[in-house]
Amino acid sequence: MDSSTVETGSRRRAGLTGLYLGLFATVWFSVPAAGGVLRVLLIVGSVAALLTAGWGLTLLLRAGRGSSEPRDRRADRRYLLIVLAEFAAAGVGALLLSLAGQAAYTPALVSAVVGLHFFPLVPVLGDPRLRVLGAAVCAVALLALVLGMATSIAPGLIAGVGTGLALLAYAALAVISGQKVA
């Protein structure tokens, strides 16, 4: 594999990361219901995340298709299984919390599931930095749970802002590193 193929692959991965995580960060910034200055900050975070997603898409499109190497179907299946397990765990957990009358903790649970899903993705995507992202998102989930139980702060506020920031930061760093390869 020549260096241009490796660079194209790196740019494509960075672009996809920026696109996907930028979009998911936007979703997380929309979780908390807030007013006043906090609402404005959440909107700013959403706009920044959308811009990062757009930047990732631009990087992806500029990288082109690269070589005609066959896709790794085994890795694709593992990725799909991990994401399906993530959605199933989040959905079942949300249902159980709702049935228990604790729906306010759903964002914290979903944040924990999202954080945990990054760990098995490390070997699939070949990105050991996902462990840091996973740990950060799990820490946000734990903080949302603890503060939700100990204070009047809504767990969704902590989970939404914290997870959104973690995903946005990772997305932005991925796109910046992809630009350096370009």
Looking at residue 105, what DSSP letter applies?
G
* Burial degree of 58 (CB within 10 A; 0-12, 13-18, 19+): middle
At 100, list the tokens.
């228990």
pLDDT of amino acid 179: 83
The pLDDT tens digits of the residues spanning 89-129 come to 999 999 999 999 999 999 999 999 999 999 999 999 989 99
Q: Any idea what the Cα angle at residue 179 is, between residues 167 and 174, rounded to 5°?
A: 20
Which residue carries 């631009």 as its tokens? 58
- Give yes or no for residue 1 having a pLDDT over 50: no
pTM: 0.90
Domain ranges, ordered by start, for the chain: 3-181
- Judged against a pLDDT cut of 60, whether residue 2 lies above it is answered with no
Residue 111's CB is within 10 A of a number of other CB atoms, namely 31
The yes-or-no verdict on residue 66 having pLDDT over 70 is: no
Q: Model confidence over 6-61: pLDDT tens digits?
A: 566 788 889 999 999 999 999 999 987 888 888 899 999 999 999 999 999 999 99
Q: What is the dihedral of CA 17, 22, 23, 25, to 10 degrees?
A: 120
pLDDT number for residue 11: 87
Q: Could you give the 3-state DSSP secondary structure of residue 59?
A: helix
Can you give the pLDDT at residue 70? 66
User: What's the mean pLDDT in 157-175?
Assistant: 96
pLDDT tens for each residue of 134-155: 999 999 999 999 999 999 999 9
| Closest by Cα among 85, 86, 106 to 95 | 106
